[in-house]
Structure 1
Amino acid sequence: MQAIAIGTSIIILIIILIGLALEWRYRRRPSQPLDILPAQWNIDIYEPDHYRLTGELGLSNPHRGLEVMVPQLSAQVRLLSRDDIGAIDTTIDVIPRHPEPECAPRSDRYWFAYIVKSNKQTTVELVLDIKGPSLTALKAAWVQIHYIVYGPHGRSGKIHHEVIPLSFPTEAASGQWRDAETCHVLPIHTHLLTPLDRPTEIVKRYVLPHSQAGDIVTIGETPLAIMQSRWLDPSQLQPGWVARRVCQFFLPTSSLATACGMQALVEQVGALRVLLAFLGGSIAKIFGYRGGFYQLAGYQARLIDDVTGTLPPYDQFIVLGPDNPQGVVEEIKAETGLEAAIVDVNDLGAVKVLAATPGASLAVLEQALRKNPAGNADEQTPVVLIRPQASQTTEPGH
């Protein structure tokens, strides 16, 4: 009997160990083993009544020992414009450019199920045609790529977003110089910024024609995050237990007051840290100390912008805080010679400087930005040029 009991215990232990091993292996495997490599777009035709753009999108499977199938992939386009778009015709073709000769694209544009093998990738060509009597009012094209991934993780529908600027303002389109205590400020109008842009190139293109030695250029933290692809589609988030519970304790105006907004923070810093920050912040509030959650949850907690937090089409997304803002301002200084800062400003007069070069005075930045010259609506002036009066050698605008 004792031998039977020992044998039974060993079998149960083996079953438990096998179960733990299976669970460990399951948790280590990626939930979605397919990476989308954003498209690089070329403008082939740019005429008053006809635009044609071509982009190459990458589908990559970087995981060893896993294969993933893409049985469906399609695209649709939404145009953003200042005017009515009823007379504009838009088509987008999806053309697979798989590396295997036997997988050549079909003439009927049918997307056949394709296997992205382990450590391999493939390419999809997107051809966007826009025709109409006058296209000059178009601001951007918002392309949504809908696709299915199928494999060990199951079957799930995904959406990838591409925003392509179509209108590029001239130097004369910038705003007027304004007085701000000990300095002058100039809001700089740009095209709709997207992940296709680099902050330094934006400064070179739109700011340098107006700048002189001693000026400071500032970029909003949300536009910078957009250029860094740090925005999330809420439909692709799955709020967990922590996000759904903790978000209920935030004011309705907070970007963390929704389950998806809070889940965005969870995915940045982890569920355990968010939960501990909530508990610690709640205890601190009992003793009269406010803001404990944000200090404990970390840098990103204060910077997340939930849906409606910025201009279209990004008002449909959750925008995270920017990555490495100090490195960005140092790069701007090295390549343009201008002092630079990344800032978070609102209409209530709050000015938060996330990063700045040594020559950018924090006092001047606060004075210049207190009235939020960039605006919080759809002004599309994400960059502000500041000219301290002490360094002024010419009149603003000359």
Structure 2
Amino acid sequence: MGFGTVVTGLGAIAFAGWAAIEWQFRQRAGNALEMTTGKWNLEVYEPHHYQLVGEFEIKNPTPNLEIFVPELTAEATLLSKESLAGIDYQITVTPNHPDAPARADGYWFGYIVKIGKTTRFTLTLDIKGSDLSTLQSAWIRVNYMTYGPEGRVPKTRHVVVPLKFPAVEDSANWRSAETVSVLPIRTHLLTHLDSPLDIVQRYVLPHAQPGDVVAIAESPLALMQDRFHHPSTVKPGWLARRICYFFMPTSSLATACGMQTLVDIVGSWRVLGAFLGGAFAKKFLDKPGLFYELAGEQARLIDDVTGTLPPYDQFIVLGPENVQAVVDDIRRKTGLAAAIVDVNDLRAVKVLAATDDVSQKLLEAALVSNPAGNADEQTPIVLIRPIKPEAKT
């Protein structure tokens, strides 16, 4: 056996060993710690004092590995359309570990979340001021460090909690078109704490009559489904960084994080195939827009930062999921026909799902002028009432 043959054999063995280690590494979950968005209660809601209390749970689903949480802190941003002068807040975190009491000084001591186990903590946000009625929401960030097989990995859990709740009477501005009347429904800032059915029952049913149709905008529905994430949690890959340059500046796929969000949903091969197919169709067949057909519905529905109301303007919002189940549930439990729609100021109405008693023509007639608006109207739902021919004057 010659020297070259030995070297080649050793190289093959080394490559096989490296490949085996790499394959095994890619199968591992790493610091796969999960934190819930919390169960929240507005314990105090007085003119000069609000107190929000959230109960969080931390889970360790990482197989065969314990994960440390050596650091955990919280911060908040209060949002209002008025000045925040004279308004102060204090935020505290209290561990509720099953096997270790919390320290009286509020210090978060390093804690090990064992395999398959959970721990909890309570977050309390006290807000005080001479007039809190202008506050709209609180954006809370829980910053924590995970320590495990991937080293120290910083993570953040974002939570938005509403602080202002409009009255049912605030939605009273019916508008008439040729065949329908529409009522934009004002709500509080929708969050993961809400459900579509609860919102319809709270804000829509007091105005509704038999035969009305409830149209819910797709982005607020996605927010209620907790389908949004901060760009800091997105790691753009080779493909996303390169092809995002080929999209219009106004597209939500024109940034590396926006494009990577789509890659994470449908896969890199599908995005690459859609990009190549779309480029060919546009160049040689004079058929623009094929990319969005090939890449799937989420390609059109992703909203990059600044696409929604504060504080969601800091996040990437995905399209909603299980939309047909949502409208069917509303129809079954309220008796109202329902639809999930994507409407913009360009007079485009896209229906993502609708109960079988709703026509596309009716929705287009009602929504083509975008009565809900694309600014800060905070009217994510439109109630549609068909005008009977005999009722015309």
Which range, TM-score by smaller chain?
Answer: over 0.9
Match among 156, 159, 163 for residue 160 of structure 2: 163
1:248 alignment partner in structure 2: 245
Q: How far off is 1:8 after superposition?
A: 6.2
In 2, Cα distance between equivalents of 1:218 and 1:32: 41
Deviation of the 1:48 alpha carbon? 0.9
Aligned partners of 2:160 and 2:191 also within 8 Å: yes
Q: Which residue of 2 aligns with 1:149?
A: 146
SS at match of 2:38: strand
Dislocated runs of 4+, deviation >6 Å: 4-8, 391-394
Moved more, 153-162 or 216-225: 153-162
Q: Secondary structure at the match of 1:368?
A: helix
Which amino acid in 2 is paired with 1:56? E
Q: Which amino acid aligns with 1:69?
A: F
**Equivalent of residue 326 in structure 2, options 325, 328, 335:** 328
Aligned to 2:46: 47
**Contact 2:74–2:93 (CA under 8 A) maintained in structure 1:** yes
Residues 33 and 66 in structure 1, CA contact (< 8 A), matched pair in contact too: no
Q: State the partner residue of 1:74.
A: 73
Aligned-partner Cα distance in 2 for 1:108–1:333: 52
Separation (CA, whole Å) in 1 of partners of 2:216 and 2:26: 40
Query: Structure 1 residue 364 and structure 2 residue 373: aligned?
Result: no
Query: What aligned pairs does 1:199-278 form with structure 2 within 5 A after superposition?
Result: 199-278=196-275
Superposed CA offset, 1:277-336 (max 9, x none): 111111111221111111111110000111110111101111010011111101111111
For 1:304, the equivalent position in structure 2 comes to: 302
Tell me if structure 2 keeps the 8 A contact 1:34–1:61: yes
Per the alignment, in what secondary structure is the counterpart of residue 347 of structure 1?
coil
Specify the alignment match of 1:348 in structure 2: 346
Cα distance between partner residues in 1 of 2:193 and 2:142? 17
Query: 386, 389, 393: which is aligned to 2:387?
Result: 389
Which position in structure 2 is the counterpart of 1:106?
A: 103
- The letter of the residue matching 1:94 is V
- Paired with 2:43 and 2:167, the residues of 1 have a C-alpha distance of 21
1-structure distance, mates of 2:294, 2:46: 53
Q: Secondary structure at the match of 1:38?
A: coil
Once the 2 structures are TM-superposed, how far is the Cα of residue 84 of structure 1 from its aligned partner?
Answer: 1.4
Measured in 2, the distance between the counterparts of 1:158 and 1:9 equals 44
Judging changes above 3 Å, is the alpha-carbon distance between structure 1 residues 392 and 328 closer, same or farther for their aligned structure 2 residues?
A: farther
- Going from structure 1 to structure 2, the CA distance change for 1:211 and 1:22 (only over 3 Å counts) comes to same
CA distance in structure 1 between the aligned counterparts of 2:292 and 2:316, rounded to whole angstroms: 18
In the aligned structure 1, how far is the partner of 2:170 from the partner of 2:30?
Answer: 46
After the TM superposition, which of the residue ranges 261-270 and 383-392 deviates more from structure 2? Answer: 383-392
| SS, match of residue 124 in structure 1 | strand
CA deviation after TM superposition for structure 1 residue 16, in Å: 2.7
Segments of structure 2 that go 5 or more residues without pairing to the other structure are: none
Cα RMSD, aligned residues only:
1.8
Q: Which residue of 2 aligns with 1:25?
A: 24
Match of 2:191 among 172, 194, 211: 194
Question: Shift of residue 7 of structure 1?
Answer: 6.8
Q: Equivalent pairs: percent with the same residue?
A: 56
C-alpha change, 1:363 and 1:32, in structure 2 (3 Å) is farther
| Aligned residue number for residue 64 of structure 1 | 63
Deviation for aligned residue 1:212: 0.6
Structure 1 segment 82-93 matched on structure 2, within 5 A: 82-93=81-92
Residue by residue over 1:202-223, the C-alpha shift from the partner in whole angstroms, topping out at 9 and shown as x without a partner, is 0000000000100000110000
Q: 1 CA distance for matches of 2:237 and 2:119?
A: 33
Q: Read off the aligned partner of 1:300 and give its amino acid letter.
A: Q
- Is 1:38 aligned with 2:24? no
Post-superposition Cα deviations, 1:213-240, rounded to whole Å, max 9, x if no partner, equal: 0000011000000001111101111111
Partners of 2:194 and 2:373 lie apart in 1 by 21
Q: Is the 8 A contact 2:143 2:156 kept in 1?
A: yes
Deviation of residue 259 (structure 1)? 0.8
Residues 232-256 of structure 1, C-alpha deviation per residue, up to 9 Å, x if partnerless? 1011111111111010000101111
> In structure 2, what is the Cα distance between the partners aligned to 1:197 and 1:392?
39
Residues 142 and 164 of structure 1 are in contact (CA less than 8 Å); yes or no, is this contact kept in structure 2? yes
How many residues get paired?
392
- Counterpart of 1:279 (choices 276, 279, 283) is 276
State whether residues 30 and 148 of structure 2, in contact with CA within 8 Å, keep that contact through their aligned partners in structure 1: no
